[in-house]
Chains A and B, each alone.
Chain A
């Protein structure tokens, strides 16, 4: 009995080829789809590293930009850049905090419901506890200048991280029709022109969906 395992990004297929009865399948391999079990096995391997990365992000992601989660992208064994972009596109269409929602998406993708719950807690709890302590100590009074300066400097440094992450995302988002125009349009509407996310999403997204609509053959 020979067992061969084939896996791709979407499903895991285990193929069994019997050598005891040649010709039993007339040269056709009998596929045994055991996707759920193998996906679960894949997920068990990922969490320790994923959770370490998420915990680091939870402690350092000042401002909560979803760009920080770009640091999780590892095209070889973890989150691919295409999956990151897909998640980013999706969470911009959902209400709530884009940072934690994207974390939930990534956690669900890589490690199932437990991964989604862990991602939310790891990304939100450190900041929540910090803010709770600061609120209890300093709300209604002035924060110590050294503390403010330290946190502000750390916050400024994270802008550098967000900028680099954003550069990497922009570099990978050029594969569709009209991509430069729709990307620049979204940036201008939501950024310098200050129209907000919803109008930018509707206008730039509407244009991009129209440009990339399925077209009939011939």
Chain B
């Protein structure tokens, strides 16, 4: 049976992270590592790196690192508790604010916010893409695939999903042939 104390600690940790982590995974990851590896010693540094790698190679938010971390600490129940604790409160908060936001659409301060924050959001998005590129492109093949994908998307009507799937197949087959 999973350690209930560890599950309770996981719940509290990811609940706190979910409600305080502004800036996504880059902001939250050091705190997760500190709590999981150093404070509670639930995972070894090597296991944490493996958990991070698993979260990075799958689609979706990289904060789904809560799954391998929770799994490593307390099995499937740990993964479920950590993920729900992280995503549920912050998602409900985002939903309720979105609901309220649409209703106050014409308020002066919302119009000001909308006008003022659009370029800031674009700048932050560009910074996020830069960080994503640094994390996801680890060799020449990766750089080439990113460039080819961008060129195809800009010049042709090939769906992005086809390009991404094709790149994945290419990478897997290429590695298999080398082995």
Q: Which residues of A contact B (CB under 8 A)?
A: 10, 56, 58-67, 71, 82, 85-101, 104-105, 108-109, 113, 116, 120, 123-124, 126-128, 130-132, 134-136, 138-140, 143, 145-164, 166, 169-170, 172-176, 178-180, 182-192, 196-198, 200-201, 204-205, 208-209, 211-214
Docked Cα-Cα span, A10 to B116, in Å, equals 20
B125 within 8 A of A: yes
Chain B 152-172: CB-based contact to A (< 8 A → 1; otherwise 0): 111000011101111111111
Which B residues touch A146, using CB under 8 A? 172-173, 175-176, 179
A68's nearest neighbour on chain B, judged by CB, is B160
| Shortest beta-carbon distance from A110 to chain B in Å | 11
Question: How many of B's residues come within 8 Å of A, CB to CB?
Answer: 104
Given contact pairs A104-B94, A162-B129, a sample of 20 additional A-B residue pairs in the complex whose CB atoms are under 8 Å apart? A58-B60, A62-B57, A62-B59, A88-B125, A89-B114, A105-B101, A109-B98, A113-B95, A126-B60, A132-B79, A135-B51, A138-B54, A150-B169, A150-B175, A156-B171, A160-B145, A175-B115, A182-B123, A209-B112, A209-B113
Which A residues touch B142, using CB under 8 A? 152-153, 155-156, 159
Q: Which of A128, A139, A153, A161 has the most CB of B within 10 A?
A: A153
Docked Cα-Cα span, A155 to B132, in Å, equals 9
Q: Which of A90, A150, A214 has the most CB of B within 10 A?
A: A150
Knowing A65-B129, A139-B68 are in contact, say whether A59-B59 is a contact too (CB < 8 A).
yes
A63 touching B64, Cβ below 8 Å: no
| Shortest beta-carbon distance from A206 to chain B in Å | 9
Knowing A101-B94, A105-B94, A135-B67 are in contact, say whether A152-B62 is a contact too (CB < 8 A).
no
User: Which residue of the partner chain, among B27, B60, B63, B90, contacts A123 with CB atoms under 8 Å?
Assistant: B60
A97 touching B61, Cβ below 8 Å: yes
Docked Cα-Cα span, A154 to B162, in Å, equals 10
A104 touching B91, Cβ below 8 Å: yes
Which A residues touch B55, using CB under 8 A? 131
B148 within 8 A of A: yes
| Shortest beta-carbon distance from A90 to chain B in Å | 6
Knowing A176-B115, A176-B118, A182-B119 are in contact, say whether A95-B51 is a contact too (CB < 8 A).
no
Q: Which residues of B contact A (CB under 8 A)?
A: 18-27, 47, 50-51, 53-64, 67-68, 71-72, 76, 79, 83, 86-87, 90-91, 93-95, 97-99, 101-102, 105-106, 108, 112-133, 135-138, 141-143, 145-154, 159-161, 163-176, 179
Q: Is the interface of B mostly helix, strand, loop or mixed?
A: helix
Docked Cα-Cα span, A204 to B102, in Å, equals 24
B72's nearest neighbour on chain A, judged by CB, is A139
Q: Is the interface of A mostly helix, strand, loop or mixed?
A: helix
Docked Cα-Cα span, A66 to B160, in Å, equals 15
Docked Cα-Cα span, A129 to B35, in Å, equals 24
Which A residues touch B145, using CB under 8 A? 153, 156-157, 160
CB-defined A-B contacts under 8 Å, sample of 22: A67-B128, A87-B98, A94-B93, A99-B60, A123-B61, A124-B87, A126-B59, A128-B83, A132-B71, A138-B50, A145-B175, A153-B171, A156-B143, A159-B146, A160-B148, A160-B153, A166-B122, A173-B119, A178-B119, A180-B119, A183-B119, A186-B123
B175 touching A132, Cβ below 8 Å: no
Which A residues touch B176, using CB under 8 A? 146
| Shortest beta-carbon distance from A171 to chain B in Å | 9
A186 touching B105, Cβ below 8 Å: no
Which A residues touch B95, using CB under 8 A? 104, 108, 113, 116
